[in-house]
Amino acid sequence: MKICIYGAGAIGGYLGVQLARAGADISLVARGAHLAAMRERGLTLLTGEETHTVHPRCTDKPAELGVQDFIIITLKAHSITGVIETMQPLLGPHTRIVTAVNGIPYWYFYRHGGAYENATLESIDPGGRQWREIGAERAIGCIVYPATEIEAPGVIRHVYGNNFPLGEPSGEITPDVQRLADLFVSAGLKAPVLDRIRDEIWLKLWGNVCFNPISALTHATLDVICTDPSTRALSRAIMVETQAIAETFGVKFRVDVERRIEGARKVGAHKTSMLQDLERGRPMEIDPLVTVVQEMGRLTGIPTPALDSVLAMVTQRARIAGLYDGVSTPADPHALAVA
């Protein structure tokens, strides 16, 4: 089983080490000092008191790797469109794409059913390029719950968690998704195969859509956002708007708003990914975590005043810092693209 991890940063590196240790044929696509370190010294994972080093193929030229059985995309979602062309040599007739990214994935409306079947979302897939050129029919959904970080070039620290729920857009338990899940489990990971993968996508996004932009605006950690009355109330308002949109698409939430906020509070003094990106001068994941929810609200006619205000402020903050390269506004909901 040939597996390429495209974007071998903190999460991709963690997966790379674990899957390589389980005996999978792993290749990593990376760049810069991280790639140079992996080539020279291998890829090292620090987890608890244990240290593991593997020596997989590493490259910044995907064409060197040939056709893959699975491509696990662990890039930030806003970066995927920029690598469509270089990904093409990895794609064969049976290659599956595993979207281990935050937010709504490009394939969301594939095998969805209803009025939005095969629709594309401009805020996350401008012009529908990912849908057409990577292929919605190749997709397997994956939600990323572990916390990891690059401690030094070529060195990944695992902080907590090992859960990677998987699922076909159709909800079927296919041989492909079962084979991938079995490999993840053999690598010491949790990989439940879900028949409603979109429910899990929204459950994670439910927190990201509010906590991430609020943290970027206030520099507050999760415990502060969830206990301060004003930011907790704002988070709740955005989550209520988000839930109304998701439920229009048939999504079922297995916890309520207050329980979801409390779960975030218990994480403690954690900086969200958006705040970390802001502090490190990296583009923030505004569109796949926030703008896309606004766009889907406009598609369904559900107003999002709380989300709109926070999105406007965090987008302006990112533009001023030179950290925003996404769309200016969502697509016109009356001009819905269908792949």
Question: Could you report the per-residue pLDDT of 272-317, keeping only the tens digit for each?
Answer: 989 999 999 999 999 999 999 999 999 999 999 999 999 999 999 9
What is the rounded CA–CA span in Å between residue 167 and residue 173? 8
User: For position 58, what pLDDT does the model report?
Assistant: 96
Residue-wise pLDDT tens digits, 100-120? 999 999 999 999 999 999 999
Instruction: Give residue 327's pLDDT.
Output: 58
Global model pTM greater than 0.85? yes
Dump pLDDT digits (tens) for 323-339.
886 754 444 433 344 44
- Name which of 40-54, 57-71, 72-86, 168-182 the model is least confident about: 72-86
The three-class DSSP label of residue 72 is: strand
Task: Examine the residue annotation and report whether 76 is marked as an active-site residue of this protein.
Answer: no
Which entry of 2, 190, 204, 271 is annotated as an active-site residue?
A: 204
Rounded CA-CA distance 329/245 in Å is 18
- Strand 139-142 and strand 147-152: the pairing is unpaired
